Amino acid sequence: MTVAIAVAVVGAGSLMLRLLPLVGATLIPDRMTVHAARAAMAVLAAMTVRTVLRHHDDALAGSRVTAPVLAALAVGLGLWLAYRGRSVLVASGVGLATYVVLAAGFAGLP
Amino acid sequence: MHSVKSRVARSGDQQIARTAQLAAVRATDVTSGARGVLPAVVAFAPLALMVGAAVAASDDPMAAWLSTWSIHGGAAQLITLDVVAQQPGWIAAATAGLLVQIRLSAYSTAMVADWRTAPLGLRLLAGVVLSDAPWALAQSRSTGRRGFYLGAGLTLFFAWPAMVTVGTAVGDVVGGVTAAALVPALVVGCTVVSQLRQRAVLVAATAAGGSAVATVMASSGLAFVCAAVVGIVAGLVSDQTRSRDRAEAVAS
């Protein structure tokens, strides 16, 4: 029962958060939509940084430091490619492949 | 008489042609949105399998599975199920889940400029299918944003529960592949960097990155709220600096 109540509250709340601004669209000033767009971009940027910083890989020696550093290099390369105009698919693929290669190289170190 | 009739017929034909052209453009945008979100669908598959495994392990798998549509966010669903499994009562779990979802109100508010003139039904549909990837991908479009967003949103809205359902059956089979955890960050990050040519967005994203470093030990919900606030303030500061620079340039 606890699970049902918890997920029902989060589900209903999520729907409200998604729907209310769009339902009351005529009441929201343009300036607020600009700030909201920046806030949303900021959250997405923070999400990316957070994932990199909290990345862990038990196969690597000194995983607490090595894994985030390798993740930062790989994700950084992917993002740089995206900034240079490559598609999301190519940029993400190169970033992922870079991590796999780097992690395999570091895992092989004594 | 004949000339009036032919003029009316010609104008009707033109209108039909214009409507058909508009419908074709919209269909193209929807298709291109559906195609554009496919890398994100692949990227979110490992997370969906993780959520599916958590749903299957929950005390009430049916309720947990049904919430996949209403929550429509992997991180929030995972955190809610995680907290409810560890702590008695639903309040802590619901609070943790909702904190992660607060960012959706920022996306929804940001969409108002594009959707203000749309019929209520379409606005409701846009809100129901809202999640990170469709919103972020649609931002990079200068035209046909509504159609593109709907194509991307609807595709993910059906693909995500399907992948979660697969996860309930097969479990977290990709849990051991650590590189998979980076894919959603890559996809989301790639959509952000394409917007960084706007100075205010660059400043907001950089400040939010700093905020993410400072709040790395905090809960996801709190970290996202901090990033949003920092992003808004940084954007405002950037606007003011730019206005001052312009005023000084005009004065000199």
- Any B CB within 8 A of A106 CB: no
CB atoms within 10 A of CB A18: 26
Q: Which residues of B touch A13 (CB under 8 A)?
A: 94, 97-98, 101
Q: Do B209 and A41 touch (CB under 8 A)?
A: no
> Is the same domain home to B51 and B131?
yes
At residue A74, the pLDDT reads: 94
pLDDT, tens digit (0-9, with 9 covering 90-100), for B215-243: 999 888 888 889 999 999 999 999 888 88
Q: Check whether residue B87 and residue B209 sit in a common domain.
A: no
Residue from the list B83, B196, B211 with its beta carbon closest to the beta carbon of A46: B211
DSSP state of A28: S
B16 part of a folded domain? yes
Q: Evaluate whether B49 touches B163 at the Cβ level (below 8 Å).
A: yes
In a domain, B240, yes or no: yes
Say yes or no to pLDDT of A14 above 70.
Answer: yes
Tell me whether residue B147 is in a domain: yes
User: Looking at the predicted structure, is the pLDDT value of residue B1 above 80?
Assistant: no
| pLDDT at B194 (0 to 100) | 78
The answer for residues whose C-beta is within 8 angstroms of residue B30's C-beta and 6 or more apart is: B147, B148, B150, B151, B154
Out of B106, B141, B174, pick the residue that ends a domain. Answer: B174
Residues B210 and B119 in one domain: no
For residue B189, being part of any structural domain is answered with no
B17 and B141 both lie in a single domain: yes
Closest CA to A44 of B161, B193, B168, B128: B193
- The percent of residues in chain B predicted with pLDDT above 90, rounded, is 38
* Residue A48 to residue B189, Cβ atoms within 8 A: yes
Q: Which of B32-36, B126-130, B196-200 is least confident?
A: B196-200
Look at residue A21 and tell me whether its pLDDT is greater than 70.
yes
Q: What is the pLDDT of residue B25?
A: 45
pTM for the structure as a whole = 0.78
Evaluate whether residue B6 is within a structural domain.
Answer: yes
Q: What average pLDDT does range A51-66 have in this prediction?
A: 86
Give the pLDDT score at B20. Answer: 47
How many CB atoms sit inside 10 A of residue B152's CB?
Answer: 30
Instruction: Output the pLDDT for position B15.
Output: 56
Per-residue CA distances from B98 to B61, B64, B66, B72, B77 (Å): 20, 15, 17, 12, 10
> What is the number of other CB atoms lying within 10 angstroms of the CB of residue B23?
10
B38-57 and B61-71 helices cross at what angle (nearest 10)? 150
Average pLDDT across chain A, whole number: 89
% of residues, chain A, pLDDT over 70: 98
User: Are B124 and B244 part of one and the same domain?
Assistant: no
Average pLDDT along chain B: 85
Residue B131 included in any domain: yes
Whether residue B128 sits in one domain with residue B16: yes
A106: closest CA of chain B, how far (Å): 14
Contacts of B152 in chain A (CB under 8 A): none
Over B59-108, what HEC string results? CCHHHHHHHHHHHCCHHHHHHHHHHHHHCCCCHHHHHHHHHHHCHHHHHH
Identify which of B60, B71, B204 has the shortest CB distance to residue A3.
Answer: B60
The reply to whether A107 touches chain B by the CB within 8 Å rule is no
Give the best residue of B186, B213, B242 to mutate against chain A (max A CB count within 10 A). Answer: B186
Q: Is the pLDDT of residue B146 over 90?
A: yes
Residues B108 and B222 in one domain: no
> How far does B15 lie from chain A, in Å, by closest CA?
29
**How far is A32 from chain B, CA to nearest CA, in Å?**
8
Our count of domains for chain B comes to 2
Residue B16: band (very low, low, confident or very high) from pLDDT cuts 50, 70, 90: low
Looking at the structure, do residues B140 and B22 belong to the same domain, yes or no?
A: yes
B187 in a structural domain: no
Final residue in a domain of this structure, among B174, B207, B231 = B174
- Do B104 and B20 share a domain, yes or no? yes
Based on the structure, what is the number of domains in chain A? 1
- In this structure, is residue B181 part of a structural domain? no
Domain that holds residue B63: 2-174
pLDDT of amino acid A25: 87
By the 8 A CB rule, do B232 and B226 touch? Answer: no
E strand spans, chain A? none
- Residue A76: pLDDT over 70: yes
Higher pLDDT pick, B221 / B174: B221
**Both tokens assigned to B70:** 């209403």
Q: Which of A3, A18, A52 sits opposite B130 (nearest CB)?
A: A18
Q: What residues of chain A lie within 8 A of the CB of B231, using their CB?
A: 38-39, 41-43, 45-46
Which domain covers residue A69, as residue numbers? 2-107
Specify whether B124 is located in the same domain as B236: no
